[in-house]
Each structure stands twice: as structure tokens, then as C-alpha cells.
Structure 1
């Protein structure tokens, strides 16, 4: 399903409780993060986004009503702390966190993966979610409760050949999500994970290209292999993922916590 079709389907949808809600979206200046930020902005949320690209932040902020947009690498504790200090000053508090930042990591056999590449992937995809959560949670508690959505992956449920750092980190996201849901639930903070599948766009094209090269087959063969393992036989769109995140943050998801929602057309294997 294309983004245009999904947008048409969602254009009249108004999710309850999002207007005025203060939300942080990490890596919110491009890709899935920007799609999430757009949906939340259209629903009336007040946004703060971070990203590593200053140029992308300027463009995204202008599109999102000149929202707070700040450079920050989520794997860097000092940068994360500075960003949330700015969020507190600008928004006066926080109601929800979308832990979206992540990277694809290396595509290689385990013996060919460098420790540096392993650490970088895990630091961004998993440790970054912890660093943001530890800053966001006191602010959400002070607001009387709220929501957190952690970005997992279909690789949170399936082993992924030649993508061991990424899959290991994304399995960790589910553990983090379920642990925080139990810890924070009594304080009225809901914590869920969204697990996108094969998402249309440049990042997935790069993954397919690299994995095809690692296995010595063509791009077209590898793409066909991916689609063959999806029950619906199609990729999902960034907008599909964004609407699922918005639902979980909204009052429509008020009793959902500790869940891992697959937005993937039912991936049977990776």
C-alpha cells in the first residue's frame, strides 16, 4: 500500500487526546521519524525532535510549525541530556517519548564484523533508547503519566542472517519495553514497542543491496526473497508505522502497555 493511499485513509481520522500533548521524537527529521512527527503534528501535538543532521532538522522544523529541533546523537549521554534540558525549557514538560533513532548496522558474517561496528549499532539502537528514557521518565512522571513507544523491528522476533548486531539490539528493545512497562505502569506510564517490517524507502533499499552482495545474488532476487516471506506479499509504508505509533500514544491506546505491535504484513521469516 502506498503512502498516498494510507494518507487518504487516515486524512479524516482524529485520534483522541493528542492535541496539545508534548512529544519527543528521536531521529525525527527524516524517514520514519519524520513521518511520525508529521502525523503527530497534524493531530495537534507539540513536538520536539532531535537528529544528527542539522540541515534535515531545519527543513523538518519549518514543516512542523517551527518545533524545537536540535542536533543530538542518542548514543552520547551529554548530547541527550542537553536535548532534554532544551525540551524542558521549551515545552515546559513532557507527555510522551518516541524512541525512534536507529541504524541498520553492518551486513556481514559475524567473523567479519568489527567490534566498533557492533558497538555503534547496539549503542544507537538500544543504549540510545535507555539514555533517552532515563531523561524522559522523570518529566513524564511529573506530568502525571503518559506514554513511551520504542522502535523495534521484525528483527526483534526473528534471527537475521548477516545482521546479528541489529537483530541483537532489536531483541533487546522488547526486553527494555516489557521491563519498563512493569516498572512504570504504577506511575501511569504506558510503554509499548512498534516492530516495523520491510519499510519502503532508501534505507531498506540499502539493506537489500548489501545483503544481496553478501549472499552473492542480485538485488531483484533478494527483494523477491524478502517479499516471499511476508504473508501480504508487500512492504509497509512509513505512514503505516507512523499511524501505529500515534495510536499507541493517543487515548485510543489507553489500556495498551508492554505490547510489541508488528507493523509488517505478517513477516514469517527474515
Structure 2
């Protein structure tokens, strides 16, 4: 954003808010100004905002005051700081309903998200040891497929997923065809069976250096760890999946009812 554009939008913001007679803290004026730009479309998700120096000069305040406004908006998940690059408008948080069994791909498509893609980090087959074979209700020594991938909306990583599937259920799966496809849909088509239900557990964890690298968050950032096992309609386990979601980009909603 050019200095001229910033000054023009600042003057417009002042005119729209001149009726307020109550004293407003200086940092809060900057915060309201940035929220105004985001909510009215002057700043879109992924856009870089003014630097702290530019904001302090625009509002004639100290850099510390400008930093407080930006920090609060980052804590509220409206902004994302990228070390050494700048501060950007955050993508809206994905609010996932836990009332129906869907894959991440299906859920995001239903919410209207586009640009879904995956980066495959690992793709291998190996023999299932006793404990894993028991969990998947297969014979020890049967081959399983292990996939690790990062899921993106556009250029923003939102989750890292590790999936283990009996190899006999995945003859058509290839690294090239799982980027935009629902894993359930591919397996259901291959096996001619329907996925009926799943057991799911959600934990709060902190990002390790490895997770932080691929999810593009600081080490120690909060994540949701979701462990899920899906079952076919004949009660045969289909997979075991462990997914780490960015807590700044993802939330879960559950509707509860009294009897």
C-alpha cells in the first residue's frame, strides 16, 4: 500500500469516526483503523499491512503504541506475523462441524473453499506388525500404506496428516491423485464399500520443530491433534489417521442437546 493510499484511507477513517466524543486510547485507534480496512475490503486475506513504523508515523504515535495494536490483532487471529517478512491479514478461521462424518476435503468444499491441495511428504508400504495389524483387523505381515501430507487452502498450510491404510484397500491411490480428492471417496470407489462411522479423539498439543516447519507457525504454537479411525459398513476398520491442525486457522464446533 502506497503512502498516498494510506493517508487517503486514514482521512476517510477519521471522517467516518469523528462523531465519537469519548476518549479512545491511541493504540485502539490504530486497531480500529486496521479492522475497518479488513472489514470493508481495503485489506484482503493475504495482504500485507503497513509496518509499525508506517503506522506510528500515520497516527503520530510511538512505535510501541503501534506494536500493541498489531499484537492484539494477531492474538485475535485477524493478522499473522511472518518473521523477517511482515504482517499479513489472516485467512478466516475454518469452523468445522462435528455432527457428520466427512473428510477435510469434503468439509472445505462444502464451505466453498477453493485451491485445495496437498504436498506429499512420505509415501511408503510396509508389513504391519502385531499391534498395528490388530488395530486394523488384518493379519500380521499384511502390507499397509503410510501417507504423510500437508493440506493447504491456497498457499496457506492448515494441517499435517498421517494416514495408515491396508494396502488392499488402496489399489488406485497415487501421490498424484490425492491432492484435491477425498480419501474416503477414492477408497469407497476402489472397495465398493461405504464408510459408515468413525471414532475420533481431539487433543491440544504444541508444535514441535518439525510440525512448525511444515505448518509455517512458530515452534510451540497451539495445535489440535485429531486421531481418527474410520470403519466400513461391515465394521471393518478402514484406516488410522492422525492430523495436526493449526489452531489459528481451525476450530471445531459441536452442537449439544438435552434429552
TM class by smaller structure: under 0.3
Comparing both structures, which one devotes a greater share of its residues to strand? 2
TM-score, normalised with respect to structure 2: 0.23
TM-score, normalised with respect to structure 1: 0.22
Larger Rg: 2
